[in-house]
Amino acid sequence: MPALTLPARRRKLHAKHRPDAGGEDMMIRTVAIAAAAALIAGAVQAQPAQPVTVKIDSGPVVGAVEPNANVFWNIPFAAAPVGELRWAPPQPVKPWTTPRPAAEAGPSCPQPMNADGTPNTGGANGPTSEDCLQLNVFAPQNVPKTAKGGAPVMVWIHGGSNRTGAGWIYGGENFARDGVVAVTINYRLGALGYFAHPALTKAAKPGEPVGNYGQMDQIAALKWVQRNIAAFGGDPKNVTVFGESAGGMDILALLATPAANGLYKNAIVESGGGWFPPTTLAAKEAGDVALLAKAGITATTPGELRAIPVEKLVPLNGNYGPFIDGKLMTETASQAMADGHLADVPLIIGSNSGEDSLMGPGPLPPQVLAMIPAAARPVYKEEAAAGDEALARAIFTDRIMGGSARWVAAGASSGKPAWLYYFSYVGSRFPPSKTRASHADEIQYVWEYWGRRTPMSTVSAKDHEVASLMHACWVSFAKTGAPKCGSEVWPAYSPSSDQLMEFGASSGVRTHLRKAQLDAQETMTLPTLALGK
């Protein structure tokens, strides 16, 4: 089986913006590195892929037959959110009759980009446009006739703090290879995706939601999947939503949003937290009005707001993410979990051992170290002995990701089963000083591919082993609603047994992992979330 580079049509649009274009994305298989390199060289010289046409509800799209997958890029799932549609719910696409090319990746949504063309913190580079509400489909070339209703579908919601990132970054060929239709989506980001203003609220139609435009886009994309994925061989009744970081946080918000009910069957949350203090529409409006004022933007009417050049909106560094607007979202995901309102679907949720990478490199500033609660020291004895820097980072990891993931798994376990994981594997390419898995490190293993800046020559047999295991867990979950992977059974989570799967140098089931520390985080954090209201 050949290892894959980025398809030529995808390179045509983005390679010139990437300093590592010669490295290319590698879709890994468990093969020897030397053999893979030889196959890659052959792939570069291969003949152009043949086109493949699929008819969807808005018109025909022409993708490409790639090794392992039929690939369709840049399919619009909603009208361009420009002009009167900026800061408005997504609207239907205008149909077309002439076959639409779908062999090149589309633009990313507007976001801060690196001036030198390198990928930003969300992994995006290249062109951006407000006309960005598009998705990409990686479809199996041969769906077994025994597959009832078609192949399972996995819809990826990318991370990036709801401010950066794009769907085109992620190649789903290996999911297609394994019988899954993978879909990656764009959604409005930053001030274009999560923005509230009294003038926009006043001008909204009766009952129309405001503010959570990125979340509305995600729902629109899931509705597109329901209408169209069968044309690609997928089963609209077996859709798994999965995402990482802000994408995982957004999935928890979708689980708390009645408007998204019935659009998915399973969910996977990678480092998406679970403890969300409530933000009301009034508070969001006040914050965003202040944000505009700080930037010297004086617009006050809907027309003036929609006329603000996008270049002035992209730099605004606000609080972006789902909030309680009173219509689309009436409670946080934390409140929905506590009240028993979170969608009851099979769930995988987990975190990484070094989530404190989000804090940036050390040393941490004194004001951060001063925030360490005295009550944490006797619970975090080992970290406290290593110094305040280690202690602060451990508290951050457990509070922001580890403790909240366990809490969500415990709450969800009373309905459909939930599975909890802990990713601690550190790739062999890293120096010995890196001892914990950073935020987002698991993505390469879930997708079973190495990113644009990870040369295959640095990927070890152990890296392949962990990737093969974790990818198989996610694929089996999408197919059956339960992760079946490896020789050790991954038990569903229950608070009494407190068992999870660790993906690490030695993977396996662990019991009561960091129990005292996570219990302490619950005690300190839950009273701040306005639960039971």
d(CA 492, CA 480): 14
Residue in 399, 400, 413 with CA at minimum distance from that of residue 348: 413
DSSP letter assigned to residue 324: B
Which residues fall within 8 angstroms of residue 519, CB to CB, at 6 or more apart? Answer: none
d(CA 222, CA 216): 10
Give 511: exposed, middle or buried? Use CB within 10 Å, 0-12, 13-18, 19+.
exposed
* DSSP string for residues in 213-236: HHHHHHHHHHHHHHHHGGGGTEEE
Exposure string of 112-136, with b = 16+ CB inside 10 Å and e = fewer, is: bbeeeeebbebbbbbebebebbbbb
Q: Mind telling me the catalytic residues?
A: 245, 355, 439
Residue 331: strand, helix, or coil: coil
Q: What amino acid occupies position 143?
A: V
Q: Which stretches of 106-245 are assigned E, i.e. beta strand? A: 134-139, 151-157, 181-185, 234-244
Residue 438: strand, helix, or coil: strand
The 3-state secondary structure of 483-502, one letter per residue: CCCCCCCCCCCCCCCCEEEE
Say if CB 436 and CB 353 are below 8 A apart.
Answer: yes
Instruction: At 485, list the tokens.
Output: 């992977």
Say if CB 416 and CB 344 are below 8 A apart.
Answer: yes
d(CA 420, CA 405): 7
